[in-house]
Amino acid sequence: MLYFSKIKILVIYVIVFILSYFALTNFLNSQFKISNKKVNLGLDLQGGSYLLLEVDSTPIIKEKIQNKFFLLKKYFQKKNIKIKNLKVLDNSIFFETDDLNRDSFIADFTNQNENSINNYFPNYKSFEFDHLVENNKIIISYSKYGLIEIKKITLDQALEIVRRRINETGTNEPNITKNGNDRILVELPGLDDPSRIKKLLGKTANLTFRFVSDDNKEFGTEILSFADGDQTANVSKRIILTGENLTDASAGMDRQSNETVVNFSLDRIGGKKFAKATTNGIGKKLAIILDNKIISAPVIRDSIKGGKGQISGNFDFQSATDLALLLRSGALPAPLSIIEERTVGPDLGKDSINSGKISLIIGFLLVIVFMTYKYKFFGIIANLALFINLLLLIGILTLFESTLTLPGIAGIILTVGMAVDANVLVFERIKEEIKVEKNLLLAFDIGYKKAQTTVLDANITTLIAAIILFMFGSGPVKGFALTLGIGIVSTLFSVYFFARHLISFYVFKNKDKILLN
C-alpha cells in the first residue's frame, strides 16, 4: 500500500496538475487561459428568472383520436364491415355493430395476423389501445401505455422546441430540463425581465397558408380574426402549406414598401406546393395564419416560384425578429402554460455567494486547526490533501462546465467534512497498529489496508445516495447531489493516492522515528 511506482506517481500528479489548472482558470485573466471553460453560477447565485412550464397533451390526444377515427372509417369501408353511429366521444371512438361483425372486428383488432387492422394500419397497436364491449357497442380508447407514450413524446418535442427558441434569443447559459412527466423547467441566469421569453414560449407557432374563400362546398370555411383584432375573414379549411415546410426565416426590409417583413425559404416539396398554389390562385387572397390568427392576407399578383416568399403585417423589427425565430424553431406540439414564475435579484445572489464563501472558509480553517493539533505533521499532509481535494472538485466542475448552485456549495462544504473523516479513520487505524507492530512501515501499510474497507463503505453508500438524488431530483437537489458525488470521488483520490503518496514518502525517509502518537 505504501509503495508507488514512478508511472503511478506521474499519473497522480498529472491529474492533480490538470484539474488544478482548470479550477484556477475561474480566477485567471483571459490572457493566461488556454480554455474558456468555467463553472457557471446558478440562478440562486447570480440572479435571473425561473419558469416552470406545463405541457398540455390533451389537444394531441384529441387530434390523434380524430385521425384514428378517419382511418377506422376507411378500414370499415375497405373490409365491408357494417357499423352504425360511428363517432368520437370523450377522446374515444364509439360505434355499434351486430354480433357477427362485432366478433370479427374484436378478433381483427386484437390479433396480429396478416389481415388484421394492426397490419392494415400500423398506427393501430393492441398495446396502445383498449377496447370495451357492451352488448354490440364498442368503445376504443388509448390505453394507459398509449397515453404515457403520447405524453412522453410530446414532452420531448416541446423540450427541444423550447430549447431552440431560448437559444435563438442569445440568452446566456440557460438551463432547460424536464421536470416530471409533463413539465419543463427553464432557468435563465442573469435575466431580470423574462417578458420576451414568456411571449415566445406562449405561442404554439402553428403556421398555415390558406386561401380566403366563400366557397364552402369541398373543404368548408371558418371565420378567423386578424392578429390586430380589427377585421375577420372567411378562410378555407384546406391547408395549402404548413410551417413544417419552412427551412429558414429572417427579419428584413421590403425595398419597395420600406416595411419590415419576414423573409422565408421553403424546402423542395413546400416550394412546389407554394408555386402551384400561387399559380392557380392568381387574384385570390392567401391568408397567412399563425395560431389561428391571420397575420396578413395579400392578393396573389403572380406565381411565386423558387421556394422563397415574405410575410408582411405591420411589424416592427423586434416583432418580425421574434416571428422569424418562432418559425425557424418550429411549432410546439402542444400548448404550454406557465404555472410558476420567480425572479431572483443579483444582490440576493451575491449575498448567497458571500455566505457560502464565509461558511467554507470557517469550516476549512477549523478543520485545519483540528487536524494540525491532533496529528501534527500528518495533519498538515491531510490539510494539503484537503486543499487539493477542493481544487480537484472545482476542476471537474469546470471541465464539464457544470452549474454551481447554493445547495451545490453546501455539497462542497459537506465534502470537506467527509474528506477529513476519511483521513481520521486512516490515522486512527494506523495508531492502533503502531501499538502492536514494531515495524513502522508495516504498521502504516496495515493501517491503510484495514481502514480502506470502512472508508470505501462509507463513501460508496453516500455516492449511491447522491446518484439517486441526481437521477430523481430536480433543481437545487440536483446541484447538491452533483457536487457531493464529485466530492466523494475526489476525496477518495486525494486520500488514497495524493495524501498516501506524501505519507509514504515521509515514512520511508523517517522510518526510524516515532511518527504518530
Residue whose cell numbers read 408555386: 275
Residue 208 has pLDDT above 60, yes or no: yes
- Predicted confidence at residue 100, as pLDDT, reads 59
**Domain at 6-46+347-509: CATH code:** 1.20.1640.10
C-alpha cell at 488: 466523494
The Cα 200–Cα 356 span in angstroms is 35
H or E segment at 131?
A: strand 129-134
CA distances for 162 relative to 41, 93, 171, 324, angstroms = 22, 33, 12, 15
Partner residues linked to 464 by β-bridges: none
Lowest-pLDDT range, 12-16, 130-134, 504-508?
130-134
Which residue is associated with the grid cell 520511508? 508
Confidence band, pLDDT 50/70/90 cuts, at residue 14: very high
Q: Give the tens place of pLDDT for each residue, 404-432.
A: 888 888 888 888 888 888 888 888 888 88
Residue of higher predicted confidence among 145 and 159: 159
249-264 pLDDT, tens digit each = 898 888 777 888 888 8
pLDDT at 107: 65
Q: Is 36 or 122 the better-scoring residue by pLDDT? A: 36
Average pLDDT for the chain? 82
- pLDDT of res. 77: 81
Burial 169-196 (b: 16+ CB within 10 A, else e): eebebbbbebbeebbbbbbbbbbeebee
* Residue-level pLDDT at 122: 52
288 against 100, higher pLDDT: 288
pLDDT band at 108 (very low <50, low <70, confident <90, very high): low
Q: What is the pLDDT of residue 15?
A: 93
> Helix (H, G, I), strand (E, B), or coil: what is residue 165?
helix
In 3-state terms, what secondary structure has residue 54?
A: strand
Whole-number Å distance between alpha carbons of 416 and 409:
11
Range from 4-8, 70-74, 361-365 carrying the lowest mean pLDDT: 70-74
The cell for 442 is: 508495516
The second-level CATH assignment, the architecture, of 207-331 is: 2-Layer Sandwich (3.30)
Q: Tell me the range of 129-133, 173-177, 373-377 where mean pLDDT is highest.
A: 373-377
- Taking residue 43's Cβ as centre, other Cβ atoms within 10 Å add up to 25
pLDDT digits (tens, 9 = 90+) for 172-193: 778 888 888 889 988 888 777 7
More confident call, 511 vs 180: 180
* Domains in the chain: boundaries: 6-46+347-509, 58-146, 207-331
pLDDT at position 385 over 60: yes
Angle between helix axes 346-399 and 500-509 (nearest 10 degrees) is: 60
Whether the predicted pLDDT of 8 surpasses 70: yes
Strand order of the β-sheet with 175-178 is 175-178, 183-189, 48-55, 336-344
- The whole-number pLDDT of residue 116 equals 54
For residue 88, pLDDT over 60 is answered with yes
211-234 mean pLDDT: 78
Measured CA to CA, the distance from residue 24 to residue 11 in angstroms comes to 20
Are 196 and 184 in contact by the 8 Å Cβ rule? The answer is no
